[in-house]
Amino acid sequence: MLTEEKLENLILKYDIPYNHNIALARRTTGREWVLPDTLENVKEFEKAEYFYVCFSEQGICIFPALENWNSGEPLVFGWKQITGFEVKKGWFTENDLRLSSGKVRLRLKLVKKMANNSWVRENMIFLDSVNYYRR
């Protein structure tokens, strides 16, 4: 079960500077998910259905949420590496995130609300207000 404690564990494990800058994402149904063969953590990403997405002024880190909402090793993208980035606002519970960088193309749904996890909604409001740190 996803709890605020799981978010705190992620922050502590990877020493993430936290300022409501982490969103929860899930795979899209008609997914666009292309990863290069050279990454060691491709298996973790292929197994995961949910992800923690950390936005900062330096770039984006995407952590797969594995069993019991524990996080796996991240994919890290600096803003200079990112060749395509778009967040399309959805009507109700999700926004559409599209990101590309070299051979990597990702399409995820950013979750706006989740029962018993007010941090999900609070973080999405903050990230929207700072345009996901994208300049």
Angle at 96 between CA 42 and CA 108, to 5 degrees: 10
Q: Supply 59's token pair.
A: 């770039």
Average pLDDT over residues 76-103: 91
Q: Over the chain, what is the mean pLDDT?
A: 88
For residue 112, the domain's CATH number is: 2.30.29
How high is the pLDDT of residue 120? 94
- How confident is the model over 14-41, as pLDDT tens digits? 999 999 999 999 988 665 666 655 555 6
Q: Confidence class of residue 132 from pLDDT cuts 50, 70 and 90?
A: very high
Domain extent at residue 61: 4-133
How high is the pLDDT of residue 104? 84
How many Å apart are CA 100 and CA 121, to the nearest integer? 25
Q: pTM value?
A: 0.90
Is the model's pLDDT at 84 over the cut of 90? Answer: yes
Q: What total of structural domains would you count in the chain?
A: 1
